[in-house]
Chain A
């Protein structure tokens, strides 16, 4: 079984490879669960194996790192032989919390924090140090979450929801927002000063005007006018103005 669990965990690193609007990461969950389901009583190709793999490929979405908890928990319930209706309801109930926790802790937490630290170190110390520290900070969290989540799911099975109340996760949920805001605020003047190092006064003023217009437009028009669209518009306007 342990070999199957390791294979399943490794496969979960590819969980989003077949992301689609019909089943989202459902097929990825089935792909990751398959090695663990091979040890069901009637083996590969048996009735319970096929039924479990079929259920595993149904629609599902969650944060990719925290979805490891779903793979562990769902395969555990299959091995425990819980009724299909219970497993289906359990699967539906898991999706939102695993997505929400991951979005808050990783996408709105450790990723921007690691990015801010990496940017500061890249411009103050060296690019290599910035890149290495960024990757280290982010991926220590990435691997730790995936490993913890998978184990929590496999050990707790249908009770995995309680594991989401773990003190460290609650700590992360409480402080991710303020720490991210602090890190981004700290980074902005330091990295901007580096970017503006060879700008003269008029160039800094012009940059500030472009930035201010973008911020004001984003207040009213986001998400229609996000950062990339504003960037593309000002580049096109610059081209039309004959500067390119």
Chain B
């Protein structure tokens, strides 16, 4: 059983709202969302591991303009709910797997909310164009409410999936290890692909390579 399911649910809604609608303070980044979720679930260590792996995935895509991107914050909460209380070797792979599914669904949910917001705007375009204050406030607040409902629904789905998998999937040690290998490999691939794409220009790529060299020397020295 996961500790504090209600608190995890509330944290999920807060994280989901932060991604786009409220402040964008980046508590929705996996590093933060998962670490805090780990503390709530009573397993900070799992929270950190899952948060680091999902943060690698999140660095693959920049939330620019109208880009559609996964909601890794909601994914992180679901991932921690799946992995918490189990040794890292057993929980990380399955947890991150669940996190990716929920992050993807969270992104689809964001797209749906934007379409519904658009329908609302079209329905009220006359009032908006005429400068009706009540219409402006109402359309905007309904958008906020829709995003809150999206965050709550996707978080609930994630927690449900976590509980279901924890209770029904008889994962073997070998399977868990293999799953951890593939999700960590995919995470490294996402990070490197994002960094290489970002560092496309030769001069920027040189800085990336310099960082790699210094970081590697640091690892050897430590």
Contacts and interface: CB of A to CB of B under 8 A. Distances in A.
Do these two chains really belong together in a complex?
yes
Interface of A: 13-14, 16-24, 27-28, 30-31, 34, 44-45, 49-58, 61, 64-65, 99, 103, 107-108, 111-112, 114-115, 118-119, 122-123, 127-128, 130-131, 134-135, 138-139, 142, 177-196, 198-199, 203, 206-215, 218-219, 222, 226-228, 230-232, 234-235, 237-238, 242-244
Given A185-B207, A210-B185, A211-B185, A19 B179 contact: no
Nearest to B144: A17
B-side interface mostly = helix
Label chain A's interface by main secondary structure: helix
- The number of chain B residues touching the other chain, given as a range, is 35 or more
B59 A103 contact: no
A16 B20 contact: yes
Given A177-B198, A207-B185, A235-B183, 11 more contacts: A17-B141, A20-B120, A27-B140, A54-B129, A54-B130, A119-B31, A182-B208, A203-B181, A231-B187, A243-B172, A243-B175
A127 B198 contact: no
B216 A107 contact: no
A209 B31 contact: no
Interface of B: 20-27, 29, 31-32, 35-36, 38, 44, 47-49, 51-53, 55-66, 70, 88-89, 93-94, 96-97, 100-101, 103-104, 114-115, 117-118, 120-122, 128-133, 136-137, 139-144, 147, 169, 171-172, 174-175, 177-179, 181-199, 201, 203-205, 207-216, 218-219
Most buried by B among A119, A135, A192: A192
A19 B114 contact: yes
A181 B48 contact: no
Contacts of B144: 14, 17-18
B62 A184 contact: no
B24 to A, nearest CB: 6
A80 B120 CA distance: 32
B133 A34 contact: yes
Contacts of B219: 189-190, 193
B169 to A, nearest CB: 6
Contacts of B64: 99, 103, 107-108
Contacts of A206: 181, 185
Contacts of A195: 49, 52-53, 184
